[in-house]
Amino acid sequence: MPYKNISALLLFLIALVFPFSVSALSPDEDTNIKIYEEISPAVVNITTTTISYDFFFNPIPESGTGSGSIIDKKGHILTNYHVVENAKKLEVTLFDGSKWEAKLVGADPSNDLSVINIKAPPEKLKPIPFGDSSVLKVGQKAIAIGNPFGLERTLTVGIISSLGRTLRAVNGRLMRGIIQTDAAVNPGNSGGPLLDSGGRMIGITTAIFSPVGANIGIGFAIPANTAKKIVPQLIERGYVSRPWLGITGQDISPDLANLLKLPSAGILVAKVEKGSPADKAGIKGGKNTVGIGNLQIVVGGDMIVALDGKDIKNMDHFVEDLESKAVGSAVELTIIRDKKRKVAKVNLTEMPLLRQGS
């Protein structure tokens, strides 16, 4: 007889008589189920209507879908900027199937985030808990809930594949600290939450890398800590307050500096906005255009080589360092003009709204 004790025999007989009475769920599956049941009511489906025009300039409504997360009982919903960009109409579908017209509250193209609002009763709104994206580790569990291809509240599971990635926002600015995950993310997931094993939102899914336009295991999410920092500003004023210098510049590498016979690498100022802080500080833009291969460069302007004594690597790092300064603060730009180094003091003002998207 293969059984060494009566307990084993009883368990075998019970399994034969009641084959579905013994749970086959693993602890990991129990966790996934619990998270889905608790968090999916906080995830919404966003339907957008934009207007395009045919050859005869007749308006043609076009629909799109995305995801979002309820963040408070006042009906504020966090999503991607590119989900709601240029939308003429926004509609939100809640977990119970009810549909609500939404209004745009605030947008930050530089971080691809926006906040919309619906006037639903508080009892229908279950806010999602925020996590701390600064303590994430590669290899830990990652769970995405969203609406891929319009399939509402779909759950996918994976891990955090990498941290500290960079992506270009829709306005060309560099987004840093991006989370990479292999949890399946597809069109329609954008704006939905990326969760940890405790059901806390650690990121906002924003993009995929795919040569076929669908998931191949490389998805990206904006860190939750980025959202926590800017969401209050989006709700309060509708935009993110950033310092403004007011120049258009060109990266100049050491090799390019040699070709152009410039004294140093840095940021070559092509244009200075009239009335901007840079203009008031006497920064000079370029006058002539030269071509190097397919590259057109405006020369003759000041070369910015340092910000507050810190050497400049390239335009992306310069913008990042500049935006770490407070609106109203003074910075020192080390420039080269006519082969001479000088320091210009610039009082930064708030970036105009017309510049927020560029």
Query: Does 9 map to a domain?
Result: no
**Three-class DSSP labels, the chain:** CCCCCHHHHHHHHHHHHCCCCCCCCCHHHHHHHHHHHHHHHHEEEEEEEEEEECCCCCEEEEEEEEEEEECCCCCEEEECHHHHCCCCEEEEECCCCCEEEEEEEEEEHHHCEEEEECCCCHHHCCCCCECCHHHCCCCCEEEEEECHHHCCCEEEEEEEEEEEEEEECCCCCEEEEEEEECCCCCCCCCCCEEECCCCCEEEEEEEECCCCCCCCCCEEEEEHHHHHHHHHHHHHHCCCCCEECCEEEEEECHHHHHHCCCCCCEEEEEEECCCCHHHHCCCCCCCEEEEECCEEEEECCCEEEEECCEECCCHHHHHHHHHCCCCCCEEEEEEEECCEEEEEEEECEECCHHHCCC
Query: Does 265 map to a domain?
Result: yes
Q: In terms of residue numbers, what domain contains 286?
A: 243-355
Same domain, 83 and 171: yes
Same domain, 124 and 192: yes
Domain boundary among 208, 240, 272: 240
Residues 67, 110, 112, 161: which is the catalytic one?
112
Structure token digits, residue 91: 């509609």
CA atoms within 13 A on the CB side of 112: 28
At 15, is the pLDDT very low, low, confident or very high (cuts 50, 70, 90)? low
Domain boundary among 222, 240, 258: 240
In CATH, what number is assigned to the domain containing residue 146?
Answer: 2.40.10.120
Same domain, 147 and 259: no
Same domain, 220 and 305: no
At 81, is the pLDDT very low, low, confident or very high (cuts 50, 70, 90)? very high
Same domain, 48 and 98: yes
Residues 69, 76, 82, 161: which is the catalytic one?
82
Query: Does 13 map to a domain?
Result: no
Query: Does 1 map to a domain?
Result: no
User: Which distant-in-sequence residues (6+ apart) come within 8 Å of 74 by Cβ?
Assistant: 117
Query: Does 15 map to a domain?
Result: no
**Per-residue pLDDT for 4 more than 60?**
no
Q: Let me know if 190 is a catalytic residue.
A: yes
Same domain, 204 and 291: no
Q: Let me know if 21 is a catalytic residue.
A: no
Q: Is the dihedral of CA 289, 292, 296, 302 positive or negative?
A: negative
**Per-residue pLDDT for 200 more than 90?**
yes
Same domain, 119 and 72: yes
Residues 69, 133, 190, 264: which is the catalytic one?
190
Same domain, 217 and 279: no
pLDDT attached to residue 3? 45
Same domain, 282 and 185: no
User: Which distant-in-sequence residues (6+ apart) come within 8 Å of 291 by Cβ?
Assistant: 297
Q: Measured between alpha carbons, how far is 274 from 262 in angstroms, rounded to an integer?
A: 25
Domain boundary among 240, 256, 274: 240
Query: Does 146 map to a domain?
Result: yes
Same domain, 280 and 291: yes
Which pLDDT tens digit goes with each residue over 254-288?
Answer: 888 888 888 888 999 999 999 999 999 999 999 88
Strand-pair partners of 48: 64, 90
Query: Does 53 map to a domain?
Result: yes
Q: Measured between alpha carbons, how far is 345 from 325 in angstroms, rounded to an integer?
A: 14
In CATH, what number is assigned to the domain containing residue 279?
Answer: 2.30.42.10
Same domain, 220 and 88: yes
Q: Measured between alpha carbons, how far is 65 from 147 in angstroms, rounded to an integer?
A: 8
Which pLDDT tens digit goes with each residue over 23-55?
Answer: 588 999 999 999 999 999 999 999 998 776 665
Same domain, 102 and 190: yes
At 293, is the pLDDT very low, low, confident or very high (cuts 50, 70, 90)? confident
Higher pLDDT, 16 or 129: 129
Q: Let me know if 82 is a catalytic residue.
A: yes
How many domains does the chain contain in total? 2
Query: Does 156 map to a domain?
Result: yes
